[in-house]
Amino acid sequence: MKKLICIVCPIGCHLEIDAQHNVTGNRCKRGIGYAIEEVTRPTRMVTTTVRLLSQEHPRLSVKTSKPLPKEAIFRLMAALESLTVNPPVYMHQVIMRDFEGLGVDIIATRTIPG
């Protein structure tokens, strides 16, 4: 039995899921899918910044193109640490492609003119 809080909507139901993936405590169906994914392969969107060669904007904000497996988050942070980007950068430009073959890109979340 594992206790979880559903984060799909603001109500935040307190869920319980057992070894057979029976879910209780959910007020709607979406809680079931969330609980199963959360105990099998939890993923999260990651937002952070990378170094940018610019006087005015020393950091570039970036995000994952889709949710990343939770256990890979700190490895991604380490990989981004050694990265430096040159302006110009455009919104949603790919900064790092297919991290660890997981099918997740790192993309810019703003434009910095050259």
Partner 1 sequence: MKTDLLVIGGGAAGIAAALEASAQGLEVLLLERDTQLGGILNQCIHNGFGLHVFKEELTGPEYAERFIHMFHDKDIAYKLNTTVLDIRKEDAGFVVSASSLQEGWLELECRAIMLASGCYERTRGQIQLPGDRPKGVMPAGSAQRYLNMDGYLVGKDVFILGSGDIGLIMARRMKLEGANVHGVAEIMPHSNGLTRNIVQCLHDYDIPLFLSHTVTDIRGKDRLEGVTIQQVDENWKPISGTDKHFSVDTLLLSVGLVPDTMVFESLDIAMHPVTKGAVVDQHYQTSIPGIFACGNALHVHDLVDYVTEESRRAGRAAARYVKGLSVRQKRLALNSGANIHYTLPQYIDTADFNGVISCMFRVTKKAEQGEFVIRQGDRIIQRKKARFLAPAEMEQLDLDQTMLSDHETPLTLDFEVIRP
> Given the complex with ligand SF4, which of 25 and 87 has the nearer CB atom?
25
CB of 102 to partner 1, least distance (A): 18
Position among 24, 32, 54, 63 found at the interface with partner 1 (CB under 8 A): 63
DSSP of the chain, one letter per residue?
Answer: -EEEE--SSTT--EEEE-TT--EES-SSTHHHHHHHHHHH--EE--EEEEEE--SS-SEEEEEESS-EEGGGHHHHHHHHHT-EEPSPB-TT-EEE-SGGGSS--EEESS-B--
Please give the structure tokens belonging to residue 28: 């709607």
Stretch that binds partner 1, among 15-23, 58-66, 96-104 (CB under 8 A): 58-66
Binding of ligand SF4 by 8 (CB under 6 A) = yes
Binding of ligand SF4 by 17 (CB under 6 A) = no
Binding of partner 1 by 5 (CB under 8 A) = yes
Binding of ligand SF4 by 31 (CB under 6 A) = yes
Cα separation of 5 and 102, whole Å?
A: 26
Interface ranges with ligand SF4 (CB under 6 A): 6, 8-9, 11-13, 26-28, 30-31
